[in-house]
Structure 1
């Protein structure tokens, strides 16, 4: 399974990511997975990405009840990067109903962990689960799989980020020259220096920057670079 992880990075769509993650978690011994990535600033909107193979009616019920507010697994991943072996004992009070309904769908025990990207610093959690009844023997197995789940989370994060970055770049519609100007501006180059690098006039470089500023919805070049970095359009 670990040897298959790099294949995640070649995924072109979220469906491909889900299909490859499903194969990976199944190879370990889990039936279900859920991945959640916090909202990313996209021109004109923000969104929260959730990818899962949980039963559809289970997900719909979770959303209708707004159980995310009391979900102890989500709460843990928001607060700590330390992996969590979760089971019935973690769900009390309002969350007990969430757990009982999850059990009815074959979701009883699992492992959850959180990661944060180096470039965009967005948090992501992944939780894998099956319907096994919790026991000390099962806990030992769950704990043994933790490093693999953490590794899977890192590859999944990178795969999803690449797809989102490609989608965002296409939506914004930067040209090749605009992208090059942004790249060199992020490296600290002036318009004159960029013009020498690209073999064009300084006024042409400034023209490209005016277009970039307009497309990114910012006020100046510095804000454009910061915006592009946050969206993953350029990397240092």
Structure 2
């Protein structure tokens, strides 16, 4: 078996993690995959399988469905719940072909299954097919990130974050403190509002949130998936996020009008036509707090209305 401390060789073949509690099964598959040029990792129980997957990020997992302790279905659910391993394809290995077990395998996140006794040729063919698909999807995600299009897919019915690029994961974590498979509450609330508005024929509105000078904007791009539901609330929705830095604008406003950082943020959004309620949602503050800030801003600028204040801001920043 392979030394876990040695670096992985991904140049000649795929990195395959085999999970099975029967040594004879591990040996059979290990020899066949090794001969085909793949790098083989092994685990004999659920917890060690999860640890190996998180550490090595294999290209594919061959997972025994029935193991003592943590079974394969639970292992798959945990791998799919972790953003770091969620995109790794999982092929279940099982001697059970009853419909309920097949459904459980796909429900836990598996992309395919093979039945025991294992035919190594069949397994090699499945590996080739699913790793090719995963590679194309990974390249597409990387291309989106390279052009600044942080992309994610959510399901508003249960608040699940189904798919995201690396950049989207970073932005959600930094702006919403989001981790795992659950979408941030402000995001999923916004999606549900937009889906309802979509059904009523209203124009889509972006979600904007800010942390200091950094601003994230999320736009709903429509339903996705092979089977687009007739019920939009049950469908999967594609979202594109982008980030901007308003630091230079805030500094100019602070210098020109003698404002604090928070007052500059409030005035910036007021100048863009946002209500106190909108500004509170963007900045994570209550409308009452925003109102207090606006009172101080008007005093410092020597104007009586927010319209006059906004006009001065727009003249300053163009």
Report the TM-score, using the length of structure 1 for normalisation: 0.30
- Rg (Cα) greater in structure: 2
Report the TM-score, using the length of structure 2 for normalisation: 0.24
Q: Which has the higher helix share?
A: 1
Q: Which one scores higher on RCO, CA 8 angstroms, separation ≥ 6?
A: 1
